[in-house]
Structure 1
Amino acid sequence: MILYTVMPQEIVFAEQNQETSAHEQIEYKGVPLLVEMKGNEAEVIQIMSTNPMHFLHPDISPGQKLKLNV
């Protein structure tokens, strides 16, 4: 697509650059995780740890829901 305009591309594509997700990095049982917050519950999106042993814990694998006491 070719778009002929004098407007800067930051203004034209502003809606595409906005992130509307509720992703947050937390530490759960000593493991850094990227989670999506849903009330007092968090769904694991990604394990941010560099320790290979953390990836073997089934309770923090991506897709798992964690109850948080906030």
Structure 2
Amino acid sequence: MTLYTIVPEEIIFPHHHEKTANLIEMIYNGVHVMVEHDGGRTFRIDRIVSTDPEDYMNVHIQPGAVINVFEHMNH
């Protein structure tokens, strides 16, 4: 769907904007992902942002997976 309008996206899709406002982009294990901070030291993967089909087959980075990015920073 293509919308040709001067109306900001936040007004047309208000719920979408609220959800994405809490997301953080990061590279995790070499894959670009969008995550949401769960609190403490963990994040929950919301979506994979990649053009490589292999990234979507990786069971460790599926949407909903909880990851500890600080664990990988110390190695």
**TM-score interval, normalised by the smaller of the two chains:** 0.5 to 0.7
Q: TM-score, normalised by structure 1?
A: 0.67
Q: Looking at CA atoms only, which structure, 1 or 2, has the larger radius of gyration? A: 1
Identical-pair percentage: 25
Which residue of structure 2 lines up, in the alignment, with residue 52 of structure 1?
53
Q: CA RMSD in A?
A: 2.5
- SS of the aligned residue for 2:64 comes to coil
The number of aligned residues is 58
Moved over 4 A (4+): none
User: Could you list the runs of 5+ residues in structure 2 that have no partner in the other structure?
Assistant: 1-10
Which residue of structure 1 lines up, in the alignment, with residue 22 of structure 2?
22
Q: TM-score, normalised by structure 2?
A: 0.63
- The answer to which structure has the higher helix fraction is 2
Which residue of structure 2 lines up, in the alignment, with residue 68 of structure 1?
69
Query: Which residues in structure 2 correspond to 1:29-40 (within 5 Å)?
Result: 29-39=29-39, 40=41
Equivalent pair of 2:28/2:69 in contact (CA under 8 Å): no
In the aligned structure 2, how far is the partner of 1:64 from the partner of 1:29?
13
User: Could you list the runs of 5+ residues in structure 1 that have no partner in the other structure?
Assistant: 1-12
